Every structure is written in C-alpha cells, then in structure tokens.
Structure 1
C-alpha cells in the first residue's frame, strides 16, 4: 500500500474516532481523496457534521457515528461496509494528527490534479495541431493556470513563476511532430516569399520570431533575414547567403548553398502575413505541447513539494504565454491581462495564511474551543483516544 493510501485511511480513521477533527480539516475536500470509496466516506462525514449528528454533542463517540457515515456514503458508492470503516479506525495511529494526515492527502491531490490537467493540455495541443487550430490549447492553458492558482490558495502559498533549480528527474519522450511535412512546407514557402519580395519582412517582423519555426535551420535563416532587415540592407538570395556564411551557418552544416537555393527557387506569389500566421499557429500548439510535457514531468516527481510544483508549473507556462501574446498581436488583438495575482507588499492574503497554518499542526484542545451546544466543562473536552460507546 502506498503512503498516500495510508494517509487517506489515517485521516478518515481519525475523523471516525474523533468528529472534532473535522473542524481542523476545512481546507480538505472529498475530491482530494484518490479512492472513490474514501471520497464518498469523507463527504458523508462532513454531511453528518453539517446536519448536526447527535454524536457531536456526546462525550464518547457512539457507534451510530460510524454506521450512519457508512450508510450515507453507501448511497453514492458501492462496496463500503462497516467492517472496512473499522479497519480505517485501526489504520489511524493518533487522531490528533489528522491535520498532518490531511496535508499528505492534499499533497497527493495536488500532484494528481496537475498531472491530469497537463495531460489534457497536451491532448488539446495535439488535436489543434491536426486541425490547424489553437483555441483548444489556449483554453486548457487558461484552465491549468486557474487550477494552479486554486491549488496554491488551498496549500497556503503565493502562485508565482519560479524556475526549477534542476531539470525534472523524469522527462517523457517527445512524440513525433504532427503534420511535420506540411509545417516544413509552410516554413519554406514563407522564407522564399520573404527573400524574394521587397519589404515583405515588415509584415511579420513585429510578431514572428526564429524560435517559432519547427526546423532550426529555417529559424536561423529567418534570423538572417531579420538581421539584414534591421541593418537596412537589401534582401535577396545573394545577400541572404552571405549573411548565413557570416554567421557560420554554412561552416557548421546548419545550412548549405544548395538548400538555400532550393528554398528560394520556384516561389510564386504569396501572402506573407497569411504564411506567417500558419507558422505562428504551429508554434502555439508546439509550445503548448512542450509546456504540458514539462509540467507533467514536474508533477510526476513525488519528491517535489507542492508549493514548488505549482510555481515551477507556472514558470513552464511562461513560454506559452509569450507565444500567445504574439499570436494575438498577429491577429490584431490586445495582449491578455496576466491572470496570476501580484505579490502583495504586506504579505500573502489572509486566506492563504489561514490555509497554511490550518494544515501545519493540530490546534490544542481547550475548553474555549468546545462545541457551542455543550456546556464548557472538563467532560466536554474529548481526549484524542476516546472510544466508541
């Protein structure tokens, strides 16, 4: 049994032994549990608490607290029995450690949630690449950003992009390019038009970058075109070949004279802006897929703390945000407003501080924290090891 499942059993066992522990687990939700049977049972325990179950007003926990929780959970899931509920009680070393067990469950939920949404982003990027679209990938990138912000608030940290100090220990294999032949043909056609049509670079230089080309050689050639344009020098196949030689692209084998000639020969009329958008669209989906793979690798590293995972994942989305802003500029749309909250000069929001403190350690039991229904007396304070009557 994994440590995560042991933690889920321990937190449920602690609540079955001591219903008061639910007051220390307000930041933990049923969806944070991995097993459906555990989700249903935790939701049932919260419902019984909210409905004012009689066990909350008694000194010793009655057996009805367990049986009613099992019956309530059994309405939503199959296979749950009273025997299993009592095995959860046995799996709890100390009920007072419930906040720590809950923190372990939340850690597992954060890793699991980030992994699931990274997979969805990757699938959306692949589908958009096949269909020649970008909307799906950008939508799921926004969803992932929102999920990371919500998880940061639950964990009690500030969501901000932070670069990892070391590369992920697990790097998924890069899948084969989608529509690679068509993408390469679009890039060659664009470069040919840029090399042969006067002032064509002006139409794309504001938002198209060398990294947007899938073929590194094409990106280097576009870099040469940009350098000539920046210096105000004439652009044609001869000056382009000379610039490539000055940058060492012929010497290191990145380009050859024959390849450059093949790109420039046989070009017909074409819209530079339209071709540039084709290359840009491919760059958006390719960057989204790369960010998704990087985030999934981070989430699958169980040794990575949740706060660092969230911040590293936000950093991995940075290149996609940059490409998105240029894609919107190419289509005449304003740059999007950043969704990540800015750092407050007075410290993190109170809700994040409360979440961090709530999961740090159990609060000491005192007469002042007794239930309002019961009179404040020593008998009203339950010891952590109380049994069922």
Structure 2
C-alpha cells in the first residue's frame, strides 16, 4: 500500500465525482502530483473548469462528459490514460468532501520530493565545485534551496524559520578524492608555514578564517594556536607555536607530534597568506555545502517528518553554510548575497498561505450556490454532498 498514491487517486476521484471540489483546491498545483498521468488529469480538470464546462455550473447529477472530456484533454499531454482508469479513480475516493485533506497529503509528498531533489543538486554542485576550485555555483544552489524552502513554507501555511531537530540526522561525512585531499592538505600546510614565518601574516586572515575551515583537524588546531598567540599580542615563530600547542595538550593527546609540527614550520614560508586563506575557505565552503546537502536529504527522506518541521529543520541545517558564506564574502570585500526572504505582509498573510492553512483546520460549511443544491447540510457536514454521474 502506498499512501501517497492513494491520496493522489482520492483527490482526482473526488473532483471527478464532484467538480465543485476544485474550488477548495485552488492552492494545489498539478505539478505537485507524483505520477505524470495524475498531473495531466488534474491539469485537465482545472482547464475544463476554467473553460466553463457545463458540469461545473450545471444542476443535478454530474454528466458523464465531465469524465470523458477530462480524459480526452489529459490524453493530449500524457499517454496510457483510459476512461476505465478514470472510473478506478472514482472508486478510490471514500468521501468527495474530504478532497482538501487528500490534497494536503499530496502536497506533503510533493514537499518531501522537492526538498530531496534540490538537496541532491546542491550536493552534486558542491562536489563539482570542489574538483574545479569554484564556489559560486555551490552558493547559487544553496540560495535556490533556501528560496524553495521559503516558498514551500508559504504554500504549506507556515512561517519559515530555522529550528534545530531533536536529533541530528545520521549522515556520513563527505570524503574527498585522494588527489583533491592531497591538494587541500598542501594548501593548508603552506598557509600555516606562511603564518609562522611571516610577521603580521595572521592579520591578513584572522578576521574571516576559522579553525573549522581546515579539512585536517590537526591543521585547524595549529591555526587555533596561532590565533591565540596573535590575540594575546605575543610573537609568532616555531618555538612559540610549539609551546602553545604543548600548553593546549595537542602533543600529549596525539593530535600533533613534534616532528609533524616541525615539518610544517620548515615548509616554504614565502607566499600570500590572504590568497592561501581563500583557497582553504573554498574547500571549506564546498565541504560544508556537501555535508549540509546530505543532512537535508536525510531529513527529506524521513516520511514521518511533517512538512513544516522538515522545512524549518532544513533551514537550520543550512545555517553552517550561511556562516561560512558570510565570512567568504567578508574575505572578498563584498556583502553576502542571500536568497530573498518572504516578508510578512502588514495586511495579513498571503492568500495562498491562508488557503493552505485552512486545509489543516476543521472545514466550515460552504454556502450552496442558489438553484444548484437542495437545503443546506447539517451543521456537522464539512462539504456539500457529492453529485452522481448520469
């Protein structure tokens, strides 16, 4: 049993039984359906309603032409749809009046799929950027994902805001290809050698480069030691660095050895600290983006996670990438570019958000069009009774 498939069939069956249900599904777009045949059929039903099909405004039983015309229209855009399948959809709908709830289920599945797709794109772009030494494409994909999450929150009827999940999704840290890992390690060692040998070099990178930007934790700890010496205004050389590392217990716990520290300090110390620092940050951005994308994908693949929580957890998961991006823009002397956020309207929430929110609330009785239906339903009824095909 596939609950999402059942929900898609139930929505279409409800509209085929009662065209008036389309008025309660304005917020549901055809592309939210997973199956192409369902997308085509829902788009066809909306088109027939927009064209003023007699079944929409007519009285009495729903004419059979409502089904046949919908099948004919949808068949222009998709193959394999038959009238018999339309009747299967009709039988798959338990209650036509529950169409908005079925539509909410369809939107739920669409949100999970959409977030998964964009997380995969971000991960792929981050891997490509790591190989090419570029970050602009990665940052653009991150902006797109943030914008998609904001739009999905509006459609679902919630406010997009980062919320930390109760438990972090279990993901494996992305690994670098051997050749790329060697290049990143060389850049980091070269930068550390420059910072040790060149007086004042720390001042060129300390404002935007952080220990977490180093792929090798040992390199990050050495940079932390250099930052501490710089912050205290103490001289920086290989002796003071060794002393700081020892005071922090890096030699005792095995994080560093004296031989490894000496090898780094004996490296070529002539270079541009700012340029090398940006190389380290490029690697940090792509690694952080890949890790964030994997975490967002893990969240999206959790079918038990409600869309509102998924969106807010995903926004929180992208936080580390936003922090690295801000420092990257600082290093390049320009303000950070962010995806446009949806501002709250002073006159109230957007209509689409209201419609989406209403689908999660107890529906009220809709007024009956004059001359079409009989007496109004009982106060406990949610929707007008469905019409049978003649």
Normalised by the length of structure 2, the TM-score is 0.93
Among 365, 373, 378, the residue aligned to 2:374: 378
Hey, what's the Cα distance between the residues in 2 that align with 1:376 and 1:82? 27
Q: Which sits farther off after the overlay, 338-347 or 96-105?
A: 338-347
Whether the 8 Å contact between 1:14 and 1:89 is mirrored in structure 2 is: yes
Q: Which residue matches 1:133? A: 134
Q: Which residue matches 1:50? A: 50
Tell me if 1:10 matches 2:5.
no
Q: Which residue matches 1:366? A: 367
Q: Which residue matches 1:325? A: 326
Against the structure 1 CA distance between its residues 103 and 340, is the aligned structure 2 distance closer, same or farther, given a 3 Å change threshold?
same
Shift of 1:380: 10
Normalised by the length of structure 1, the TM-score is 0.94
Whether the 8 Å contact between 1:161 and 1:315 is mirrored in structure 2 is: yes
Deviations 1:138-177 (A, max 9, x none): 0110110111011001100000111111122xx3444421
Deviations 1:338-360 (A, max 9, x none): 73346789975564233201453
Hey, what's the Cα distance between the residues in 2 that align with 1:96 and 1:300? 30
Q: Which residue matches 2:26? A: 26
Q: Which residue matches 1:223? A: 224
Whether the 8 Å contact between 2:27 and 2:355 is mirrored in structure 1 is: no
Tell me if 1:195 matches 2:191.
no
Q: Which residue matches 1:78? A: 79
Q: Which residue matches 1:182? A: 183
Against the structure 1 CA distance between its residues 280 and 23, is the aligned structure 2 distance closer, same or farther, given a 3 Å change threshold?
same
Aligned-CA RMSD value: 2.0
Hey, what's the Cα distance between the residues in 1 that align with 2:44 and 2:119? 30
Hey, what's the Cα distance between the residues in 1 that align with 2:151 and 2:338? 18
Q: Which sits farther off after the overlay, 325-334 or 150-159?
A: 325-334
Tell me if 1:291 matches 2:292.
yes
Shift of 1:335: 3.0
Whether the 8 Å contact between 1:100 and 1:360 is mirrored in structure 2 is: no
Whether the 8 Å contact between 1:24 and 1:363 is mirrored in structure 2 is: no
Whether the 8 Å contact between 1:277 and 1:330 is mirrored in structure 2 is: yes
Whether the 8 Å contact between 1:158 and 1:352 is mirrored in structure 2 is: no
Hey, what's the Cα distance between the residues in 1 that align with 2:366 and 2:336? 52
Q: Which residue matches 1:253? A: 254
Shift of 1:269: 1.5
Q: Which residue matches 2:380? A: none
Against the structure 1 CA distance between its residues 66 and 350, is the aligned structure 2 distance closer, same or farther, given a 3 Å change threshold?
closer
Hey, what's the Cα distance between the residues in 2 that align with 1:81 and 1:338? 43
Deviations 1:175-194 (A, max 9, x none): 42141110011000000110
Q: Which runs of 5+ in 1 are unaligned?
A: none
Deviations 1:47-105 (A, max 9, x none): 00010001112221000000000000000000000000000000000000001100000
Hey, what's the Cα distance between the residues in 2 that align with 1:338 and 1:248? 42
Hey, what's the Cα distance between the residues in 1 that align with 2:186 and 2:229? 23
Q: How does 1:137-152 map to 2 (within 5 A)?
A: 137-152=138-153
Hey, what's the Cα distance between the residues in 2 that align with 1:350 and 1:56? 23
Whether the 8 Å contact between 1:17 and 1:387 is mirrored in structure 2 is: yes
Q: Which residue matches 1:40? A: 40
Q: Which residue matches 1:240? A: 241
Alignment size in residue pairs: 382
Hey, what's the Cα distance between the residues in 2 that align with 1:174 and 1:64? 57
Q: Which residue matches 1:99? A: 100
- The 3-state SS of whatever aligns with 1:34 is coil
Hey, what's the Cα distance between the residues in 2 that align with 1:72 and 1:379? 34
Whether the 8 Å contact between 1:210 and 1:222 is mirrored in structure 2 is: yes
Against the structure 1 CA distance between its residues 356 and 288, is the aligned structure 2 distance closer, same or farther, given a 3 Å change threshold?
same
Q: Which runs of 5+ in 2 are unaligned?
A: 378-382
Q: Which sits farther off after the overlay, 345-354 or 87-96?
A: 345-354
- The 3-state SS of whatever aligns with 1:208 is coil
